[in-house]
Amino acid sequence: MIGNLLVANRGEIACRVFRTCRDLGVSTVAVHSDPDAGALHVREADAAVRLPGAAPADTYLRGDLIVAAALAAGADAVHPGYGFLSENAAFAREVEAAGLTWVGPPPEAIEAMASKTRAKRLMGVEPLDPDALTEADLPVLVKAAAGGGGRGMRVVREMGALKEELAAARAEALSAFGDDEVFAEPYLERGRHVEVQVLADAHGTVWALGTRDCSLQRRHQKVIEEAPAPGLPEALVEELYGTAVRAARAIGYRGAGTVEFLIGPDGAAHFLEMNTRLQVEHPVTEAVYGIDLVALQLRVAEGSPLPPEPPAPRGHAVEGRLYAEDPARAFAPQTGTLHALDVPGVRLDAGYAAGDAVGVHYDALLAKAVAHAPTRAEALRLLAHALERARVHGPVTNRDLLVRSLRRPEFAEPGRADTGFYDRHLDALTAPPPGGRYAAVAAALAEAAARPGPGAWRNVPSQPRLRVYGDGAADHEVRYARLRDGYALPDDPDVRVVAVTAREVRLDVAGVVRPYRVTVRPGSDTVHVDTPTGAYRLTRRPRFTDPAERTAPGSLLAPMPGTVVRVAEGLAVGARVEAGRPLLWLEAMKMEHQVTAPASGVLTALHAEPGRQVEVGALLAVVEAGAVAEPAPDQ
């Protein structure tokens, strides 16, 4: 029996495993890097061990340090979570060699599927050699052989881009997984990403726990997942089950794992890979089958057998990943203090709590919201409603994108959405929400109520006060005057002020009264306004302006805090560059982000070198449009 479990991970998955441990009476040990010293998973554990440093390579990817931490804390088992070392056979062997129970598949099974190229060959699929591609093979998806999560992936549609994209994929794969092997596979523009959850014990039982559809993705990372995958023919479902179970049996699998497929427009299933670990999206399977996959992982690791058949599925579940990122700015990661995180009415698996700092060292996942209902339509409605009413204050998030995606007719129609969903609809899904004007009015009145004027009234009325708020689409000038019996809005005759406090304003617009909950924090120009039909993140003007407005034309500013990981080959001051050409790459929250030339011209300044850490708005380079490159010196 496992009595004390160390989770070799951080954030949401560590908190998730700890929750099950508490239910089972298992003690818990956390490990943490220096930036994570005060993180939620550390606070929730019974004991914690420091991994000195900040970079994953120095901390969460150091198997020797994690095993030493487990022994020091008296743990008798290790759960790897997902990501980091979760699919590392050498780490699993280190754990077992130390006399600890490994809560995962046998190292040999991990090894068989760890390389995506070996896994494909095991399943009878020959991967494409990326160095031997021809025009006829395009488009292709270049992928890291040793990992996933969107890292080391590049779509190549033109032969001219192949060399650069291969180099970028290999560099990112080496940084993320310590292995620069990549391969290629045909890229289906309109495919559906469907997977099968498997669970196996050491006694020969293998469960296929239904399908999941994870087609809504950005940067090859999942955003919304659901179970079961809608609209699949029964014969195809049985084919997927059979392939998944055969794959598990072929490698002597034990524990929880996922077999992933791409379903083409013709309905044919293409094997992608097997993830030899728990998936981020496992809660939707738990909701449909009424099980705790982490608890079952622990029992399997203890040697207990599974029942011959899994429980019967019930209803439909959908999960939305809440990321600290700005979808309207190419999903740029966001940092800062998370002041509020409250999503009522649904399951919330979170790695952060109110007051926690969201930093740059790890991925942008804040939490996962999961809704379960008797039907798919009801589950979508429930999750959209919960997210719409959520209070999420602090860094910009993708909350509005999730709500709009769940309500998009193409997604609401079962089985219609595919992996190109955001390529087609992102502009519409990231447009600023309507109603910003009324949110700005509410913000102005709440701030006025928080700073009451002098108690004596004058016979001569004062001039209206002016406040300006930006909502991402426009700046709203709000004029208001404080009267004996309330407030007047000279610029908004269609609005009647019903009630005002420093925290809530009720406005009557065309006969409909709605509440606006206003949150203002000292020292911040951000004002959060929450309503029953959506939330608004306003910026008080004109105290701060966009960094781009204060710099010379052609300046490339860091769109996010991060680390410069590399500069384009041969790039130097004086070189001619074309608009859109990648000049350098920033790494933030475990993802690489291209910084491209804003216009065709000459690079007149370069302030970036690999390893440099930059803050948002930092000047990286200057491209002078229309300038002529200096001629090369005579040879």
Distance of CA 564 to the CA centre of its chain: 21
Residue carrying structure tokens 């998973």: 41
- Of 68, 103, 138, the one marking the end of a domain is 103
**Could you count the other beta carbons within 10 Å of the beta carbon of residue 351?**
23
CA distance 65 to 599: 47
How confident is the prediction for the chain on average, in pLDDT? Answer: 91
Higher pLDDT, 125 or 256: 256
Q: What is the rounded average pLDDT of the residues 405-410?
A: 98
One domain, residues 335 and 391: yes
One domain, residues 169 and 266: no
One domain, residues 488 and 609: no
Q: How many domains does one find in the chain? A: 5
One domain, residues 76 and 222: no
Structural domain that includes position 512: 436-454+461-541
One domain, residues 40 and 174: no
Query: Cβ contacts of residue 133 below 8 Å, gap of 6+?
Result: 140, 156, 159, 162, 184
**Could you count the other beta carbons within 10 Å of the beta carbon of residue 16?**
25
Has residue 108 been placed in a domain? no
pLDDT band at 633 (very low <50, low <70, confident <90, very high): very low
Has residue 389 been placed in a domain? yes
Supply the CATH number for residue 468's domain. 3.30.700.30
One domain, residues 209 and 258: yes
Which of 486, 477, 482, 392 is CA-nearest to residue 441? 477
pLDDT band at 595 (very low <50, low <70, confident <90, very high): confident
One domain, residues 203 and 169: no
Per-residue pLDDT, 628: 55
CA distance 241 to 233: 13
Which of 259, 210, 404 is CA-nearest to residue 320? 404
**Could you count the other beta carbons within 10 Å of the beta carbon of residue 389?**
18
CA distance 412 to 500: 38
Q: Is 53 exposed, middle or buried (0-12, 13-18, 19+ CB in 10 A)?
A: middle
Residue carrying structure tokens 């911040």: 524
One domain, residues 304 and 363: yes
- Of 524, 541, 558, the one marking the end of a domain is 541
One domain, residues 167 and 61: no
Q: Looking at 53-62, 143-152, 491-500, 593-602, which range is the least confident one?
A: 143-152
Distances (CA, A) of 600 to 463, 566, 574, 629: 50, 21, 13, 11
For residue 408, is it left (φ>0), alpha (ψ between -120 and 50) or beta? beta
Helices 89-97 and 63-72, axial angle in degrees (round to 10): 30
Q: Looking at 11-15, 524-528, 595-599, which range is the least confident one?
A: 595-599
Supply the CATH number for residue 8's domain. 3.40.50.20
> Could you tell me if 6 and 70 are in contact, meaning their C-beta atoms sit under 8 angstroms apart?
yes
One domain, residues 314 and 418: yes
Is residue 549 predicted with pLDDT exceeding 60? no
Supply the CATH number for residue 153's domain. 3.30.1490.20
Give the DSSP per-residue string, 292-355: -HHHHHHHHHTTPPPPSSPPPP-SEEEEEEEESEEGGGTTEE--EE--EEE-TTSEEEES--TT
Is residue 454 predicted with pLDDT exceeding 70? no
CA distance 215 to 224: 8
Q: What is the rounded average pLDDT of the residues 227-237?
A: 97
pTM value is 0.86
CA distance 536 to 388: 11
One domain, residues 388 and 256: yes
One domain, residues 304 and 227: yes
Per-residue pLDDT, 548: 45
